[in-house]
Structure 1
């Protein structure tokens, strides 16, 4: 687990999101700890941003597949905005209208 926390802290500076789906009835406390919204720290290195989303599959066994997908992907848009915002990169101009004016 310490090596995983360190890898997550290093990866938090990259344009990446980590999605973990827990399958089975195992104790997922370590996965929940990785998903804590807050700064992960390992060996003195702090995560730059929250990049981990953990979802236990057992909570969605009887739900429609779209419910699992929605939960799994819920944090990704904010993670993208945080990454680019941390580099001072804002949204660019919208798509150009291809219709003649």
Structure 2
């Protein structure tokens, strides 16, 4: 699972930025480290005047690594057929 959050408006998104975990490893209340980084948070206000492609690129930036991390954690290989029936 990957979670993508786009913050809209002028609210304080510090909790969302914390969940994103870009500043370090996210930890549980007991101190256990997160197994994988599954959250991508992007504040919309940083992109409201930018081309929509820029927002899309930033929103999806971590997704390939998250998918690879998932596959690696379960020792899975990508399917051979990219277009299964």
TM-score (norm 2): 0.82
The runs of at least 4 consecutive aligned structure 1 residues that moved more than 3 Å come to 91-95
Larger Rg: 1
List alignment gaps of at least 5 residues for structure 1.
Answer: 1-15, 96-101
Is it true that 1:40 corresponds to 2:41 in the alignment?
no
Aligned equivalents of 2:53 and 2:68: distance in 1?
A: 23
**Partners of 1:86 and 1:76 in 2: CA distance:** 15
**Structure 2 Cα separation of the partners of residues 68 and 50 of structure 1:** 20
Aligned pair count?
A: 80
Is the aligned partner of 1:27 residue 2:12? yes
**Structure 1 position 92, deviation (Å):** 4.7
1:88 counterpart = 2:48: no
Deviations 1:11-67 (A, max 9, x none): xxxxx1011101111111111101123432223243211011000000111111111
Runs (5+) with no aligned partner, structure 2: none
Tell me how far apart the structure 2 counterparts of residues 30 and 53 of structure 1 sit (CA, whole Å): 12
> Normalising to structure 1: TM-score of the pair?
0.70
